[in-house]
Amino acid sequence: MPSGQETADRLRRVTVRLTDLTRDWPERSRNLLLGGRLGSFDGVDNLVALVTGANKGIGKEIARQLADAGLTVYVGSRDAARGEHAAGEIGGDARPLVLDVTDDVSVADAARQATTLDILINNAGISGDDKTPDQEDAGTFRRIYETNVFGVVAVTNAFLPALRRSARPAS
Ligand SMILES: NC(=O)c1ccc[n+]([C@@H]2O[C@H](COP(=O)([O-])OP(=O)(O)OC[C@H]3O[C@@H](n4cnc5c(N)ncnc54)[C@H](OP(=O)(O)O)[C@@H]3O)[C@@H](O)[C@H]2O)c1
């Protein structure tokens, strides 16, 4: 586990890199990503993050990096066993949290369990079958929108009370 100073330095380097990468973004978008709170990472040891869809892929890597940096990380997974397995592999203070972003009951249950939260990362998502839009049926679009659009709204709203209690909220 890195020291608090190492963690702060590492996150500062990430911020500098993000600042560089988003140089050409519109001001409003940059502020959303890099907003004042993200500019300071001192004391990250006490921060709590939730990454949805963190049992594999990009979400798992994000969770791993946050756990490595000393944060407590809820590893969101719609499947309990896959979430537990991923949290075990991530290590640090990674905690499995069953969360299907398309299921209102699952979202509410997860929000009841994770009542302290500083960072929400809406990563869970699906894509189509690599077909062109004219070859996809409407059901596939519905599934994608349920996960990638309405799921993000449901999860964000469910965890807003916890984020609002945070001294340094970010999503
Ligand atoms: N990889 C890319 O090139 C790329 C490009 C653009 C955008 N993205 C977006 O980036 C995010 C991560 O991509 P990835 O490549 O890491 O995808 P991935 O490997 O397919 O992982 C997606 C994650 O989302 C989870 N998930 C799917 N539906 C869910 C639901 N209803 N509730 C909760 N979790 C759910 C999956 O869980 P299960 O294991 O249970 O399926 C998995 O953990 C996605 O939102 C994706 O759309 C990726």
Question: What does the pLDDT look like over 91-119, one tens digit per residue?
Answer: 999 999 999 999 999 999 999 999 999 99
Chain center to CA of 84:
17
Point out the domain boundary residue: 25, 42, 59. 42
Query: Do 82 and 63 belong together in one domain?
Result: yes
Could you tell me if 47 and 71 are in contact, meaning their C-beta atoms sit under 8 angstroms apart? yes
Pocket probe for ligand 1: among 65, 123, 130, 146, the residue whose CB has the most ligand atoms within 8 Å is 123
Distance (angstroms) between ligand 1 centre and the Cα of 59 equals 7
Other C-beta atoms lying within 10 Å of the C-beta of residue 106: 19
Name the residue at shortest CA distance from atom 5 of ligand 1. 127
pLDDT digits (tens, 9 = 90+) for 72-95: 999 999 999 999 999 999 999 999
Query: Do 10 and 80 belong together in one domain?
Result: no
Which protein residues are within 6 Å of ligand 1, measured from CB? 52-53, 55-59, 78-79, 82, 99-102, 123-127, 147
Name the residue at shortest CA distance from atom 7 of ligand 1. 125
Separation of alpha carbons 146 and 157, rounded Å:
15
Query: Do 94 and 53 belong together in one domain?
Result: yes
Query: Do 92 and 9 belong together in one domain?
Result: no
Please give the residue range of the domain that contains residue 143.
47-165
Structural tokens at position 21: 């990468």
Query: Do 1 and 69 belong together in one domain?
Result: no
Distance (angstroms) between ligand 1 centre and the Cα of 86 equals 14
Residues 6+ apart with CB under 8 A from 80: 96, 98
pTM attached to this predicted model: 0.81
- 170 within some domain: no
Query: Do 65 and 28 belong together in one domain?
Result: no
Query: Do 93 and 18 belong together in one domain?
Result: no
Of 7-16, 31-40, 124-133, 138-147, the poorest mean pLDDT is in 31-40
- Give 37: exposed, middle or buried? Use CB within 10 Å, 0-12, 13-18, 19+: middle
Query: Do 35 and 59 belong together in one domain?
Result: no
Distance (angstroms) between ligand 1 centre and the Cα of 42 equals 30
Full DSSP string of 81-118: HHHHHHHHHH-TEEEEEE--TT-HHHHHHHHHH----S
Read off the DSSP letter of residue 147: I
The single residue listed with the structure tokens 């809406």 is: 122
